[in-house]
Amino acid sequence: MKILDCTLRDGGYYTQWDFDKKLTERYFTAMEQLPIDVVEIGYRSHASNTYFGKYYYSPVSLLQKARQLMPTKKLALMLNLKDCPANDSLIPLLEKCRGYADLFRIAADPAKINEAIALAKFIKSLGFGVALNLMYLSELKNSVTIVERLGELDGVADCISLVDSYGGVYPHEVAELIKYCKNFTNVPLGFHGHNNIELAFANSLAAIEAGCEFVDGTITGMGRGAGNLKTELLLTHLSAKAGYNVNYDVLSNIVHDFEHLKAAYQWGTNLPYMVSGINSLPQQNVMDWISKRYYSVQSIVRALHNKKLGTDDN
C-alpha cells in the first residue's frame, strides 16, 4: 500500500495556492523523512487570468527545490482535464518538468472519460508517468459504461484513484466499487476521500481492505471543503497496526505548522458540509456559502429541494 500526500495541491483551495516558502520547505523536509511514497506538489496549469499562487502552476524553480529536499520521493503534479486537453500546447508545459516530476495525475469528471483516456495516452507517449483521479465516485456505480472503459488504461496509467468528491459515501460502497473496478482493469487503484461525514479514514480502510493500493492524505486534512483523510491519522494507524516506522517528532512538528494555517482558514467538517456531503452537493458551493458568511443550513436544504425539483441551486 502506498501513501500519496497532496497537502499543498488540495490545501491550495484554501490559500489560492499561495504558501509561505519556509513552511513548504519544512513540509518537503518532513515528507522526505516520513514513510510517504508520492508527494503531489501542486497543479501544473496554463497561464490564467484569475490570480493563483505558485502551487497552481508549479514552476521549475519550485520543482527544483522540491526535488532537492525530497531526493527519494516520487513527485506528482496534477492536471485539470478541463483546462488541459491533449494537444501540442501541453508539450512545453510538461517538458519543463522533465527530470523533476515523476507522475502527472489527471483530475477528470467521469463524463469526460474519452478525453481523460486520450490525455493519459498522450502523456504516456511523452515518456512521463501518468495517473487518473476520477471524480464523483458516488456516481460511478450507476455508470457501468465508464467503469468498463478503465481497462483502456492498462499499461498506460500507474494508478486510477476514485475520488469521493462530495465526501458522502460509506465504507461498504467504497469497497464494492473498488472490487467492481478491479474486474475491468489491472491498473492499481487508489482512493481519495473527503471528510464531510467523518468517514475519510473508515472509507480509506475499506478501500485498502478491498485491494486499493494507493491512498491520498493531507497533513491536518487540509483540502477542499471539509478536507481530506489526515495523513497523520493514516500514519498513526500504520505505525500501530502495520509496523510502519514513523518519526513522531517530525510528524508532530509539521502537523503543528499546518494547525496554525487551520486556525486561520478553518477547514474541517461542520453541519453544512455534513448535509451537503451526504446529499452529494458540491464542496465548492458550500465553501462559497460559508466564506461569504451568508450561508444557513436552511439555504442548503433549500438547494437540495431545488435539486430534487430539477431547478438551479442558488
Per CB under 8 A, residues contacting its own copies are: 170-171, 195, 197-202, 205, 230, 232-233, 236-237, 240-241, 248-249, 251-252, 255, 259, 270-271, 274-275, 278-279, 296-298, 301
Closer residue to its own copies, CB minimum distance, 118 or 278? 278
Closer residue to its own copies, CB minimum distance, 118 or 301? 301
Task: Compute CA distances 273 → 76, 126, 255, 258, 261, whole Å.
Answer: 28, 40, 23, 21, 20
Classify residue 136 by its DSSP letter: -
CB of 30 to its own copies, least distance (A): 13
User: Rounded to the nearest 10 degrees, what angle do helices 21-33 and 248-265 cross at?
Assistant: 140
- HSE-CB at 17 with a 13 A cutoff on CA atoms is 21
Closer residue to its own copies, CB minimum distance, 158 or 257? 257
Grid cell for residue 303: 438547494
Closer residue to its own copies, CB minimum distance, 26 or 237? 237
Closer residue to its own copies, CB minimum distance, 118 or 202? 202
Buried b or exposed e, range 3-31, using 16+ CB within 10 angstroms: bbbbbbbbbbbbbebebeeeebebbbebb
Q: In terms of residues, how long is the chain?
A: 314
Closer residue to its own copies, CB minimum distance, 54 or 230? 230
CB of 226 to its own copies, least distance (A): 11
CB of 199 to its own copies, least distance (A): 6
DSSP string, 79-112: EEGGG--SSTTHHHHHHTTTTT-SEEEEEE-GGG
State how far the Cα of 77 lies from the Cα of 218, in Å rounded to an integer.
15
CB of 189 to its own copies, least distance (A): 21
CB of 268 to its own copies, least distance (A): 8
State how far the Cα of 43 lies from the Cα of 171, in Å rounded to an integer.
29
CB of 126 to its own copies, least distance (A): 40
CB of 201 to its own copies, least distance (A): 5
State how far the Cα of 205 lies from the Cα of 96, in Å rounded to an integer.
37
Closer residue to its own copies, CB minimum distance, 131 or 281? 281
